[in-house]
Amino acid sequence: MDSFQENVILNINSDEIKELEKGVKTLFKNSDRINLNITGLDKNFNEEEYRLQMKKISEFLIKELENNGVLKELNLLTDTIFLDKHENCMAGENTIIISPKEKIYTCCAEYSNNPDEFIGDLERGISKDYSKRLYETKNSNLCRICDAYQCKNCVYINRLYTNEINVSPSFQCRKSHIERDISIDILEKLKLLSEEIELPALREIKREDYLDPISKFSEGVENFIGYYKYNK
Ligand code: SF4
Ligand code: SF4
């Protein structure tokens, strides 16, 4: 990449995560914003390595800010600092996909992997009852108590791994909470620098002692009897 690009999309598979810092730093030489997308996420995701890589990237972002007064943006680390609500793709809630055959799907992954699961077509509009309310963040017991606003909350991943549209598998939440944790380091630095550098409003993000918000959920439920195994 020779010329400067305002916005770059970086797709990296979860088994290539050791190369993350290197890839991100290379792209930032010619860009001020990267939208990072980790593909192939599942329960074997290497959380320790991810934290290490994201930590190094956050240190790089902080150094850039101190030296050049520019906050380079990595969506998964910097967006949540400036958001006040969840910013996922809103599949099935506010967005739909139309296929070349004019069928309507809740999301592009449904179209690619489950072509028979369309919810309507261009002629008739949305004609199947696909339980839209389950796609709405406000109706997810976990997401509505969670402020990892940068999280993709991929409903396709939810359905694939928990058989529920609005229940995320633990590995998706834990990944997002690693990002959330590291965002706090950047936020603290930004607060210190906010007197010298003009910045949009910063929000408060509280440190939590868990990575899976089901831990918080279970505290608020009397006689919570879970068969769901998770690591805090
Ligand atoms: S639900 Fe997941 S797979 Fe579907 S569009 Fe959103 S992020 Fe992509
Ligand atoms: S971390 Fe989990 S609970 Fe929070 S928004 Fe993402 S999927 Fe929902």
- CA-nearest of 200, 1, 186, 179 to 82 is 200
> Could you tell me if residue 231 is inside a domain?
no
pLDDT of residue 168: 95
* Nearest bound ligand to the CA of residue 172: 2
- Testing ligand 2's pocket by substitution, the residue of 153, 181, 211, 230 carrying the most ligand atoms inside 8 A of its CB is 153
> Could you tell me if residue 195 is inside a domain?
yes
- Testing ligand 2's pocket by substitution, the residue of 151, 180, 208, 217 carrying the most ligand atoms inside 8 A of its CB is 151
Could you give the 3-state DSSP secondary structure of residue 106? coil
14 contacts: CB under 8 Å, gap ≥ 6: 38, 39, 40, 41, 42, 44, 45, 46
Instruction: Quote the ligand 1 centre to 133 CA distance (angstroms).
Output: 17
Average pLDDT of every residue of the chain: 92
> Could you tell me if residue 175 is inside a domain?
yes
Span 14-23, mean pLDDT? Answer: 97
pLDDT above 90 covers what percent of the chain?
81
Q: How many domains does the chain have?
A: 1
> Could you tell me if residue 18 is inside a domain?
yes
pLDDT of residue 117 exceeding 80, the answer is yes
Instruction: Quote the ligand 2 centre to 99 CA distance (angstroms).
Output: 28
92 Ramachandran zone, left/alpha/beta (phi>0; psi -120 to 50) = left
> Could you tell me if residue 101 is inside a domain?
no
Residue nearest to atom 4 of ligand 1 (CA): 107
> Could you tell me if residue 58 is inside a domain?
yes
pLDDT of residue 220 exceeding 80, the answer is no
67 Ramachandran zone, left/alpha/beta (phi>0; psi -120 to 50) = alpha
* Nearest bound ligand to the CA of residue 109: 1
> Could you tell me if residue 92 is inside a domain?
no
Residue nearest to atom 1 of ligand 2 (CA): 173
Q: Which one-letter DSSP state was computed for residue 16? A: G
pTM for this predicted structure: 0.92
Span 50-58, mean pLDDT? Answer: 98
pLDDT of residue 4 exceeding 80, the answer is yes
Q: What angle do CA 98, 38, 228 make, to 5 degrees?
A: 95
Range of the domain at 48: 8-85+169-219
Question: Residue 110 burial by CB count (10 A; 0-12/13-18/19+): exposed, middle or buried?
Answer: buried
> Could you tell me if residue 182 is inside a domain?
yes
Span 71-95, mean pLDDT? Answer: 95
